[in-house]
Structure 1
Amino acid sequence: MDFKALSKSLLFFYWYLRTRLRSAHATQVKLFKYPSEDKLASGQVLICDVEGGLLRSSSTFPYFMLVALEGGGFLRGFLLLLLYPLVCLLSHEVGLRLTVMGAFCGLRKDGFRVGRAVLPKFLLEDVGLEGFKVLRRGGKRVCVSSMPRVMVEAFLKEYMEVEVVLGRELKEFGGYYTGLMEEENKIWEGMSLKELFGGEGEMKAGVSGFGGYLNSFHLRLFSHCKEVYLVGEAEKRRWHPLPRSAYPKPLIFHDGRIAFRPTPASTLCMFLWLPLGVVIAIFRVVIFMFFPYSLSIPMVAFLGLYCRVTTTSSSSPHHRELENSRKSRGQLYVCNHRTLVDPVYISGALKRRVTATVYSVSRISELISPIRTIRLTRNREADRERMESLLKEGDLVVCPEGTTCREPYLLRFSPLFTELSHEVVPVAVKVHVRMFYGTTASGFKGLDPLYFLMNPFSCYDVVFMEKVATGSVDGKQCSSREVANYVQEKIGKVLGFECTALTRRDKYLMLAGNEGIFE
Structure 2
Amino acid sequence: MISKAFLESLYLFYRFMLKRLRNSYTTYGRTHKCPPPDKLSTQTIVCDMEGALLRNSSTFPYFMLVALEAGGFSRGLLLLSLYPLISCLSRELALRLMVLVCFLGVRKESFRVGRAVLPKFFLEDVGLEGFEVLRRGGRRVCVSSMPTAMVEGFLKEYLNVEVVLGRELKVFGGYYTGLMKESEVKAGLALEELLAGGRVTEDGIVGFGGYSSSLHQQLFTCCKEVYLVSEVEKRRWQQLPISSYPKPLVFHDGRIAFRPTPMSTLCMLLWLPLGFPLAVVRALVFICLPYALSVPLLASLGMRNRYVTSSTAHPKADGGSHGSRQLYISNHRTLLDPLCIAAVLRRNVTATTYSVSPINEWISPIRTIRLTRNREEDRRRMKKLLEEGDLVVCPEGTTCREPYLLRFSPLFAEVSQEVVPVALETSVTMFYGTSTSKFKYLDPLYFLMNPSPCYEVEFMGKVATGSIGGKECSSYEIANHLQGQIGRLLGFECTNLTRKDKYLMLAGNEGIVEGDINRR
Partner of 1:196: 194
> What amino acid sits opposite 2:185 in the alignment?
K
Select 2:209's aligned residue among 211, 218, 230: 211
Distance (Å, rounded) in 1 between the aligned partners of 2:256 and 2:111: 17
* Cα 1:92–1:377 shift into 2, 3 Å: same
Q: CA deviation at 1:327?
A: 2.7
Taking the TM superposition and a 5 Å limit, the aligned residue runs for 1:498-509 are 498-509=493-504
Q: Does 1:335 align with 2:334?
A: no
Partner of 1:78: 77
Partner of 1:274: 272
Partner of 1:163: 162
Q: CA deviation at 1:363?
A: 1.3
Contact 1:45/1:203, CA 8 A, preserved across alignment: no
Fraction of identical pairs, as percent = 64
Partner of 1:6: none
Partner of 2:97: 98
* Cα 1:21–1:389 shift into 2, 3 Å: farther
Structure 1: give runs of 5+ residues left out of the alignment.
Answer: 1-17
Select 1:432's aligned residue among 410, 427, 431: 427
Any idea what the Cα deviations from partners look like across 1:88-147, whole Å, max 9, x if unmatched? Answer: 111111111001100101000011100000000000000000110111111111100000
Partner of 1:34: 28
Select 2:478's aligned residue among 478, 483, 488: 483
Q: CA deviation at 1:228?
A: 1.1
Q: CA deviation at 1:516?
A: 0.6
Partner of 1:112: 111
Distance (Å, rounded) in 2 between the aligned partners of 1:397 and 1:308: 19
Q: Does 1:391 align with 2:390?
A: no
Q: Does 1:300 align with 2:294?
A: no
Any idea what the Cα deviations from partners look like across 1:297-340, whole Å, max 9, x if unmatched? Answer: 111111111111112x4xx23425x3356131310000000100
Taking the TM superposition and a 5 Å limit, the aligned residue runs for 1:312-391 are 313=310, 316-320=311-315, 322-323=316-317, 326-329=320-323, 330-391=325-386
Taking the TM superposition and a 5 Å limit, the aligned residue runs for 1:383-422 are 383-422=378-417
Any idea what the Cα deviations from partners look like across 1:408-431, whole Å, max 9, x if unmatched? Answer: 111011111001110000001010
* Cα 1:475–1:20 shift into 2, 3 Å: farther
Distance (Å, rounded) in 2 between the aligned partners of 1:246 and 1:348: 39
Select 2:226's aligned residue among 211, 214, 228: 228
Three-state SS of the structure 1 residue aligned to 2:152 is: helix
Any idea what the Cα deviations from partners look like across 1:179-236, whole Å, max 9, x if unmatched? Answer: 001112122244453x125653542762111111113474321111111111111101
Q: Does 1:56 align with 2:50?
A: no
Three-state SS of the structure 2 residue aligned to 1:187 is: helix
Taking the TM superposition and a 5 Å limit, the aligned residue runs for 1:459-470 are 459-470=454-465
Q: CA deviation at 1:39?
A: 3.9
Three-state SS of the structure 2 residue aligned to 1:157 is: helix
Partner of 2:505: 510
Q: CA RMSD in A?
A: 2.0
Any idea what the Cα deviations from partners look like across 1:458-514, whole Å, max 9, x if unmatched? Answer: 111111011111111111111111111111110001011111111000000000000
Partner of 2:249: 251
Q: Does 1:285 align with 2:283?
A: yes
Distance (Å, rounded) in 1 between the aligned partners of 2:238 and 2:336: 35
Partner of 2:467: 472
Taking the TM superposition and a 5 Å limit, the aligned residue runs for 1:177-192 are 177-192=176-191
Distance (Å, rounded) in 2 between the aligned partners of 1:81 and 1:429: 36
* Cα 1:187–1:318 shift into 2, 3 Å: same
Contact 1:281/1:450, CA 8 A, preserved across alignment: yes
Distance (Å, rounded) in 1 between the aligned partners of 2:199 and 2:33: 22
Distance (Å, rounded) in 2 between the aligned partners of 1:186 and 1:282: 52
TM-score for both structures, normalised by structure 2: 0.92
* Cα 1:199–1:125 shift into 2, 3 Å: farther
Contact 1:442/1:511, CA 8 A, preserved across alignment: no
> What amino acid sits opposite 2:260 in the alignment?
P
Three-state SS of the structure 2 residue aligned to 1:215 is: coil
Three-state SS of the structure 2 residue aligned to 1:188 is: helix
Distance (Å, rounded) in 2 between the aligned partners of 1:227 and 1:138: 14
Contact 1:49/1:144, CA 8 A, preserved across alignment: yes
TM-score for both structures, normalised by structure 1: 0.92
> What amino acid sits opposite 1:291 in the alignment?
L
Distance (Å, rounded) in 2 between the aligned partners of 1:75 and 1:387: 44
> What amino acid sits opposite 1:431 in the alignment?
T
Contact 1:360/1:517, CA 8 A, preserved across alignment: yes
Three-state SS of the structure 2 residue aligned to 1:107 is: coil
Structure 2: give runs of 5+ residues left out of the alignment.
Answer: 1-12, 516-520
Any idea what the Cα deviations from partners look like across 1:146-182, whole Å, max 9, x if unmatched? Answer: 0001100010011011111001100110000000011
Further displaced range: 322-331 or 78-87: 322-331
* Cα 1:27–1:387 shift into 2, 3 Å: same
Contact 2:352/2:370, CA 8 A, preserved across alignment: yes
